[in-house]
Every structure is written in structure tokens, then in C-alpha cells.
Structure 1
């Protein structure tokens, strides 16, 4: 089981994702707790989102995909969109502090944040087609604006992993530091810089910069609709179970027994 820790310190609301045994993957209750914390930060100077135990976030927990409950999974999908939308709508700057893997929905969490600072051991990438899903909450639209369409498609479709330095070169993160201690120092430095600026005009800049996010929301909603229709599909079950069993997924196993010349089974 994971949990969310919220602490207000130094003018910033600090949200910590505590689920290191599953690389920071969140369940419905954790996502709801993060939404409440972000929405409750309107009077703070900034928000900082981090992970624990050498992980940042792996998005929604994959154990729900192997034997999915359609109603529960639909709620997790839609709540994930609400979480990212809360980050974009928050009037205060939101900083992702990444020390470890940011994978799948966790990578999209980085995309949604205003700033991102990573340690050398951080890594980034999408997992959708590899685990029987699709990254429709940022990686298939907004991420193209941040890192370019070809690179975004490479990340979203091929599920490659990228180092912190590669992420910095692409424009996915703002700064890379040596380790967790340096990450804390960098976050405080960024918060100090924010403290010297006008909250009113920072809000205007942030909300005005949501043009591409707002333009992408219809696409995200339609993408979620397609994901909901695919709940329980063979590919979803195979991808999730392969991940949980630490094996390579076999999405074409059944098709390998089909004769392509006539579309029927081989004998």
C-alpha cells in the first residue's frame, strides 16, 4: 500500500508520493489525496511534488490492469486526468523533484508540472504500448510541444528510457543535479527565486501559458474514452501481467498461430 504525505514548509506545499515498493505508482485514494493537496495550495507560494525510496512516480498502479474492474479502473483513469488538470489550474508554480524513475503516468506528471529538477539517477519514459495501455494524458499531445513531435512519438510509442541528461537536452526537465541532497538544495534555490516574484503576475503567466494544455483536453478525454473501451482486452491483461511477472509481453502469441494467407488457424 502507498500513501501521500503533505507538508507545508517554507511557504511551499510539499507532496510526497510514498510507494517505493511499486516505484511510486498511485491508487485511486492516493490520486485523490494529491488533487486535494494541489487544490489546497492556492495560498501557498509554490507546490513541490516528489517521490520516496529512490522512485518518483510510475503513474497508476498496474496491478489493477491484470484483472481489471472496469468501474474502478474508469475512475482511476478519470481521476488521473483530474490530477494533471489540477496541477495546470493551480495558481502557484508546481515543481517536480525527481530522484529515480518517472515512468508512464509519472512521466506525464513531469510534463504537467511547470518546472522539473532531477538527479543523475532519475530516468524518464512512457510505458503504455509495452504494458497494454496508451499515454493519452499528456504524452500524445502536450509533450510534443515540450520536446518536439518526433521525439515525443519515439518516447510514447517505443517506450524507450531516457537518462536525466537526455531529458535535460530534450527540454523535459529544467536542471539536473548530482544526488538527493543536491536536489533538496536546488528545490530551495528555485523556491527562493519564486519567493522574490509577484504571486499575482506569476499566476497570470502560468494560466496564460496553459494554451496548449487547454487545446489538448478534448483529445485527452477522447483518449480516455478509448482506454475505457479497451478495459479487459487481451493486450491490457497480457501487458500488465507480463510487467508484474517480470517477463517480456507476448502481444502476438495468438496471432502467431494464424495462417496469414487465409486468415484462419494453421493446422
Structure 2
């Protein structure tokens, strides 16, 4: 399909390819991790794409999205972090409440909030080199916006706890086996595969696709109280010793020395 319209606002690029809106996260220097301002751009991009037939979210460079920008955690600006945390929830709700199907075109690493972004999307196609996983307890946070709750519906409770607690990485094939993503393709076939899926969706009734999508939000809606209470706990923990140590250790590429944990190594 030809690109008929597009734009680039800050760290997010948008392209209208026929009836498909492509939203590209464009901060490859930090693996497309988002701060409060970038979260707001993403929210606006999804909202503005509601007139398209299908919405696609993807990333630039070697990552899909690394979630929230961890340098912000290390600096612990309470107001900015609160805005980023609640901006994350509003972004995922924008995806869930959009009348259009949203496809995650996972071009690379989907980590932390970036993995939760995949979980929130209606469908997901992954490049073979893509990886998935949560980072929360490893860096002084917790995946309360999908990793600890909605992911369990998609891959099972015990497996979702493994993902959230142990912060392991899973390759695209394993993610497909678990039901995390719908399809895995060679890296150079990702765009074509997503376009084929979008074309299938465009052949359907938009009215009844919207009904099917909103109806499928049962588990998302049921878990919403958990998202809000989890965010409240994260906000209360802003500036905590564990949060600061986890973020600083990540930025300094060393093992965390958790407060009160005897025998922790540097």
C-alpha cells in the first residue's frame, strides 16, 4: 500500500497506508522507552487513528519498546513519574477502547511496559528476532498494567507469574507457543505479514468488529481495579530505596544491591 498521509510529532511517527494507520515509536537511542511526554504522544496517535480501519503499533531500530524510561526512575522526579505511570494506563486504555483492531508489529525487544503494550494490543505479529519479558522486580518496579494480571489470561497464571517474578526473556517462537503472539515471521517479512492480517480485518464489517472487540474486553475490564491499585502502590513507592537502587543498577549495568538483602553482590 502507498503512504497517503503521515506525520512526525516528537518521538512518534504516524503513517496512513490506505485504511491502515501505522504508529511507529521513534526513540531507538533508548530502545523506544517512553517518558511522560512520549506516552502522551502515543495516546494522541492512537486516538487520532480511530478513523482508520486498522491500527498498527511498531518500533524503530532493534526494539519494539523497552517500557518506561528507567533514567527517570533513577532520578525519581515524583510528579513526572506519576504522570508516566498513569500515562501508561491511559495509553493501554486508549488501545483497548479504540473502535479499531490494534496490531502489535513486534520488530524487536518488548520489555517491561513494552511487553505490556503487546499484551494490551488486540493481535500481535512478531519478527523472529523479537524477545519478550518483564523487568519490574529486577529494576525496582512491578508490572501491574498487564504483566501480573491480563497476561495470565493469555498464557496461564503460573506462567505469567514466572514472567513477572523471574524477569526471564522469551524468544518469539516460545511466545507463540504460549499464546502471547498470534504469528512469528522472518524479520524481513514482518511488515508484509502485518499488512496481510490488516487486509483480512479490512474485509470485515467495521461495526461488528468493534462490537467483537469491546465484548472481548471482559478480562481487561475485570482487572482494571488491579491496575489502579497497583499504580497507587507504585506511586507511593516513588523514591524508595529499592526503586532507586534497581534503576541505578540497570543504568550502571551492574547487579542491584537491594537494601536489607545480606550478601548482595555488586
TM-score by length of structure 2 reads 0.93
Which residue, 183, 187, 191 being the options, matches 2:194? 187
Of 239, 256, 262, which residue of structure 1 is paired with 2:262? 256
> Is 2:106 the counterpart of 1:98?
yes
Aligned to 1:217: 224
Structure with bigger gyration radius: 1
Question: Does residue 159 of structure 1 match 2:167?
Answer: yes
Q: How many residues align?
A: 254
Alignment pair present for 1:239 and 2:246: yes
Residues 1:198 and 2:205 aligned together: yes
Residues 11-90 of structure 1: pairs in structure 2 closer than 5 A:
11-90=19-98
Look up the match of 1:131: 139
Output one character per residue of 1:127-186: Cα deviation in whole Å (capped at 9) or x when no partner: 00000000000111111000000000000011000000000001000000011x200110
Q: Partner residue of 1:264? A: none
Aligned match of 1:143 in 134, 148, 151? 151
1:52-74 Cα shifts (integer Å, max 9, x gaps): 11110011100000121111100
RMSD: 1.1
Q: 1:255, 1:60 → 2: CA distance?
A: 26
Return 5+ residue gaps in structure 1 as ranges: 258-267
Detail structure 1 runs of 4+ shifted over 4 Å in the superposition.
none
**Cα distance in 2 for residues equivalent to 1:255 and 1:221:** 29
What is the distance in 2 between the residues matched to 1:168 and 1:110? 13
Q: Which runs of 5+ in 2 are unaligned?
A: 1-9
Summarize deviations over 1:221-254 as a string: whole Å, max 9, x none.
Answer: 00000000100011101110111111111214x4
Deviation at 1:28, TM superposition (A): 1.2
Question: CA offsets per residue over residues 66-85 of structure 1, 9 Å max, x none?
Answer: 12111110011000000000
Shift of 1:256: 2.2
The match for 2:122 is 114
Query: TM (normalized to structure 1)?
Result: 0.93
Q: Deviations over 1:88-119 (max 9, x none)?
A: 00010000001110000000000000000011
